[in-house]
Amino acid sequence: MSDAWIYGDAAPAGSTARLLAELGFSPHRVTANGSLRPPDAPGRSPSLVVVVGPSGDVCERLGQDEELADVPVLVAVEPEHLDHGEGIADGHELLVHPFSAAELQARIARARRALHGVDHGDVVRCGSLEVNLATYQVTIDGRPVDFTYMEYELLKFLVTHPGRVFSREALLSRVWGYDYYGGARTVDVHVRRLRAKLGQEHAGRIKTVRSVGYRWEGV
């Protein structure tokens, strides 16, 4: 189940959480304690953030956090906030209360496409390589390739962030979770396994950036 973090203490945050649960998310409320992370969230970054009410500096802080900068952000406001433009332009998508689960789902898909170019229900294709983000299946030339859970999660993260260089520490945080205490060697081992399973045609798509980390080349 994908995690969604909700910022805002107003009653609409509760209704937003219920709609997110209907869509299959695991919602976590962020309390007003100055932290960007909810106390009950598991040790990994969310797949979605919803800011309920004027966003204030939350969106700016999210963008400055390396672990959260690539998470789609929706801002959900009341109609009266539109007249004042109170921080409503900071997210990737804007929702106005009241809204349905269908509209929320559509906005989530738009935010993901705006940020990554793909939605979680899409198939990412790189030549003969296909990564199905909905079914967790990977094929090469139509033949399935088996990956462990963390191998798949690392591959999924790389293919949905093409062209960007990520340090080993950033990959540990984004893929394994920000409270994961394994060393950077964990990333190197998984990259080596990915390259072996991707084969000669696609192994080279995972580029090593010396003294920095790794980059996925999707073309």
Domain boundaries for CATH 3.40.50.2300 within the chain: 2-116
Average pLDDT score over residue span 190-208: 95
Predicted confidence at residue 60, as pLDDT, reads 81
pTM of the model: 0.62
Taking a C-beta distance cutoff of 8 angstroms, is the pair 71, 62 a contact? yes
Condensed to tens digits (0 to 9), the pLDDT of residues 205-218 reads: 999 998 889 999 97
Distance CA 99, CA 86 (A): 19
Characterise 112 by phi-psi region: left (phi > 0), alpha (psi -120 to 50), beta (else): alpha
User: For the stretch 27-44, what's the b/e string if a residue is b when 16 or more beta carbons lie within 10 angstroms of its beta carbon?
Assistant: bbbbeeeeeebbeebeeb
Say how far apart CA 18 and CA 24 lie, in whole Å. Answer: 10
**pLDDT tens track for 97-147:** 888 988 998 888 888 877 766 666 688 889 899 998 878 899 999 999 999
11-43 pLDDT per residue, tens: 667 888 899 999 888 888 887 566 787 776 656
Q: How many angstroms separate the CA atoms of 168 and 196, rounded?
A: 19
**Topology given in CATH for the domain delimited by 123-216:** Arc Repressor Mutant, subunit A (1.10.10)
Return the SS3 of 99: coil
Please say whether the structural domain 2-116 has been given the CATH code 3.40.50.1580.
no
Least confident of 84-88, 197-201, 205-209: 84-88
Give ranges for CATH 1.10.10.10 in the chain: 123-216
**pLDDT the model gives residue 141:** 93
